[in-house]
Amino acid sequence: MIKKQISFLFLAILLQALFFIYPLSGNSGVLFNLFLFCPLPLYFLGILYGVRYVIFASIPAILIIYTYGFNIAVAYALLFAAPAIYLSYFIGLNKMSGSGNKEILWYPLSLIFSKIIMLSLILSIVGILFLGTNIVDYNNTISAIYSDVYQIRPDLEQTIQLNNIALMSASLPSIIVAFWIIIFLANLWIATKITKKIDYNARSWDGFDEISLHKNYIYLLTVLLVLAFTAQGIIKVMSITGATAILIGYSINGLSVLHNVTKSLNLRPLLLTTLYILVLLFVPLIIPVTILGIMDYKNNLRNKIKSRR
User: Per residue in 15-51, pLDDT tens?
Assistant: 888 888 877 666 555 666 777 888 899 999 988 888 9
Q: Are 142 and 135 in contact (CB under 8 A)?
A: no
98 lies in a domain?
Answer: no
Last residue of a domain, one of 57, 92, 127: 92
**For residue range 72-84, what is the model confidence (pLDDT) as tens digits?**
888 889 888 999 9
pLDDT score at 249: 92
Residues 143, 31, single domain; the answer is no
Residues 109, 220, single domain; the answer is yes
3-class state of residue 10 by DSSP: helix
Residues 3, 129, single domain; the answer is no
188 lies in a domain?
Answer: no
Task: Give the single-character DSSP code of 108.
Answer: P
Residues 66, 128, single domain; the answer is no
178 lies in a domain?
Answer: no
Report d(CA 284, CA 149) in Å as an integer. 28
Strands 104-106 and 94-96: antiparallel
Assess whether pLDDT exceeds 90 at residue 86: yes
What residue numbers bound the domain in which 37 lies? 1-92
302 lies in a domain?
Answer: yes
Which residues on adjacent β-strands are paired with residue 28? none
Average per-residue pLDDT for the chain: 83
Number of domains present in the structure of the chain: 2
Residues 81, 154, single domain; the answer is no
**For residue range 155-187, what is the model confidence (pLDDT) as tens digits?**
555 555 555 666 777 777 888 888 889 899 999
pLDDT score at 246: 94
pTM, full prediction: 0.85
Average of per-residue pLDDT across 243-263 = 89
Residue 110 CB partners (closer than 8 Å, separation 6+):
210, 211, 212, 213, 214
